[in-house]
């Protein structure tokens, strides 16, 4: 009889490397190759997601880093075609680093995140195994060593186990995601979750007194009322002529940045669909290097949203088919035959002025009328959003805001 393994991936945002291997080529020197792999996977996953009928014309927000971390961790116990499909689907190339080095590089990233200051960030994984399950100890030790995994032996037939998992998730995400699972099959053998939590303060906070309600144009025929935060400051901006796109870079303590990217609607016939098809990791690197400070007006909608995605069909569409069927090979975890029954990703995003008490005052400011694409950045139409590690351009979160009033 087939038994099941469940994969659950959560992420949220409120707005010392370790070196192994030979002395000739330290593993840490291969980190850029892993980051390129992760970021290519981020856009591959994003584009698969927006192609799904149920997610079209919807807000999108997820952590590709959390997903790739979980899939990489699965390769610890995967074998045969299952392992090959996993590696191939997230872009693994053995000419850049070995599989063991890949695990060490993920460990390097997690260690680096653990030592960051100025923001509140936490990333890791946890696995729950059935108390009737006989895992191979070496694979669990690898998960602990390289992926900061915590392990728990549980009885999946008891309701208390569901409460235990949900409590763990709630604690790790500081209450922003409070439910990972509603129910679990009693014959579940293993439950793996991957989480990331981020909370940062803007380098230049918004003044709550300047927040105003205005129209957000969902499309040419639909508008919604949204609270827009406003600044007129020297901020990092860039205009990408190739994509006819405005880029705003808002920093958190010179450590992480949020990129807000909006097509120039109206003057040139480009829209969010064109942008999300064309954008790649090369654009992220280009934008992060090209933004420069200038005095600009910006209007950014306040956001609070939660997303949840079933990844089964998406991952199958990316080539990871066997792990969801009786062809699954997880012989590195156990001698028992098992497959993945469910892969789920949840994320949460909150963007505000900084949580300060709002006060009301009316002001009127005048601006020159001569046109320049970067005099005003008004995010009042669908736009893309990225949360980037300034140190290595690792994309922690990626999304698209179609309608700021939709919270789920």
CA-wise closest residue to 104 among 41, 194, 19: 19
Residue-number span of the structural domain to which 230 is assigned: 208-301+357-401
CA-wise closest residue to 73 among 359, 349, 65: 65
Decide if 154 is inside a domain. Answer: yes
Cα–Cα distance for residue pair 278/287, rounded to 1 Å: 14
Provide the CB-side half-sphere exposure for 245 (13 A, CA): 27
178-195: b (≥16 Cβ within 10 Å) or e: eebbeebeeebbbbbbbb
- Tell me, yes or no, whether 104 and 169 share the same domain: yes
- Tell me, yes or no, whether 26 and 142 share the same domain: yes
- Tell me, yes or no, whether 31 and 156 share the same domain: yes
| Cβ pair 101, 111 in contact under 8 A | no
Please give the structure tokens belonging to residue 64.
Answer: 């590709």
Question: Would you write out the chain's pLDDT as a tens digit for each of its 408 residues?
Answer: 455 555 555 655 554 223 334 445 678 789 999 999 999 999 999 999 998 888 888 899 888 988 888 889 899 989 999 999 999 998 888 889 999 999 999 999 989 888 888 788 888 888 888 888 788 889 989 989 998 888 888 888 888 988 998 898 888 888 888 887 888 788 887 787 888 888 888 888 899 899 999 999 998 889 999 999 999 999 999 999 889 899 999 998 778 899 999 998 765 557 888 899 999 999 999 999 999 999 999 999 998 888 888 888 888 999 999 988 889 898 998 888 888 877 888 888 888 875 221 111 212 222 333 335 567 889 999 999 999 999 889 999 999 999 999 887
Decide if 406 is inside a domain. Answer: no
Give the pLDDT score at 76.
Answer: 92
- Tell me, yes or no, whether 181 and 231 share the same domain: no
SS3 of residue 276 by DSSP: helix
- Tell me, yes or no, whether 294 and 309 share the same domain: no
- Tell me, yes or no, whether 229 and 297 share the same domain: yes
- Tell me, yes or no, whether 369 and 328 share the same domain: no
- Tell me, yes or no, whether 326 and 396 share the same domain: no
Give the pLDDT score at 368.
Answer: 35
Decide if 408 is inside a domain. Answer: no
267 to 264, 314, 339, 371: CA distances (angstroms): 7, 35, 52, 11
Decide if 337 is inside a domain. Answer: yes
- Tell me, yes or no, whether 326 and 379 share the same domain: no
Q: What is the DSSP letter of 176?
A: S
**CATH number for the domain harbouring residue 252:** 2.30.39.10
**CATH number for the domain harbouring residue 340:** 3.30.497.10
Cβ count near 60 (within 10 Å): 21
Please give the structure tokens belonging to residue 173.
Answer: 């995400």
- Tell me, yes or no, whether 14 and 113 share the same domain: yes
SS3 of residue 232 by DSSP: strand
Number of domains in the chain: 2
Please give the structure tokens belonging to residue 285.
Answer: 């690197």
Decide if 325 is inside a domain. Answer: yes
Helix pair angle (137-147, 99-114), 10° resolution: 40
Decide if 407 is inside a domain. Answer: no
- Tell me, yes or no, whether 272 and 178 share the same domain: no
Give the pLDDT score at 370.
Answer: 37
> Considering all CA atoms of the chain, what is the largest pairwise distance in Å, rounded to the nearest integer?
73
- Tell me, yes or no, whether 29 and 92 share the same domain: yes
């Amino acid at each position: 009889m087939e038994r099941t393994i469940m994969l659950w991936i959560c992420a949220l945002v409120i707005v010392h490397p370790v070196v192994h291997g030979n002395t000739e080529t330290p593993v840490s020197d291969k980190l850029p190759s892993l980051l390129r792999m992760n970021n290519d996977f981020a856009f591959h996953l994003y584009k698969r997601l927006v192609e799904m009928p149920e997610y079209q014309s919807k807000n999108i927000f997820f952590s590709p880093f959390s997903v790739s971390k979980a899939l990489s961790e699965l390769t610890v116990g995967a074998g045969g075609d299952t392992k090959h499909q996993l590696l191939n689907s997230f872009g693994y190339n053995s000419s850049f680093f070995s599989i063991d080095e890949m695990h060490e590089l993920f460990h390097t990233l997690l260690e680096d995140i653990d030592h960051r200051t100025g923001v509140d960030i936490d990333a890791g994984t946890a696995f729950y195994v059935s108390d009737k399950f006989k895992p191979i100890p070496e694979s669990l030790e690898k998960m602990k060593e390289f992926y900061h995994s915590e392990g728990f032996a549980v009885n999946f037939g008891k309701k208390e186990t569901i409460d235990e998992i949900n409590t763990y998730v709630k604690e790790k995400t500081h209450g922003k995601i409070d439910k990972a699972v509603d129910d679990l099959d009693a014959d579940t053998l293993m439950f793996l979750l991957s989480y990331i939590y981020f909370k940062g303060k803007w380098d230049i906070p918004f003044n709550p007194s300047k927040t105003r309600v205005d129209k957000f144009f969902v499309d040419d025929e639909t508008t919604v009322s949204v609270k827009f935060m406003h600044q007129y400051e020297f901020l990092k901006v860039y205009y990408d002529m190739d994509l006819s796109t405005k880029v705003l870079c808002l920093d958190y303590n010179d450590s992480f940045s949020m990129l807000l990217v909006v097509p120039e609607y109206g003057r040139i016939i480009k829209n969010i669909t064109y942008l999300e098809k064309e954008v790649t990791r090369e654009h992220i690197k280009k934008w992060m290097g090209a933004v420069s400070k200038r005095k600009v007006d910006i209007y950014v909608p306040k956001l609070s949203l939660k997303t949840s995605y079933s990844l089964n069909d998406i991952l199958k569409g990316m080539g990871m088919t066997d792990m969801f069927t009786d062809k699954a090979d997880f012989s590195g975890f156990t001698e028992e035959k098992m497959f993945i029954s469910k892969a789920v990703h949840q994320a949460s995003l909150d963007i505000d002025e900084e949580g300060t008490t709002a006060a009301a005052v009316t002001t009127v400011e005048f601006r020159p009328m001569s046109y320049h694409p970067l005099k005003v950045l008004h995010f009042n139409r669908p736009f893309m959003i990225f949360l980037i590690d300034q140190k290595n351009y690792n994309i922690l979160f990626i999304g698209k805001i179609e309608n700021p009033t939709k919270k789920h």
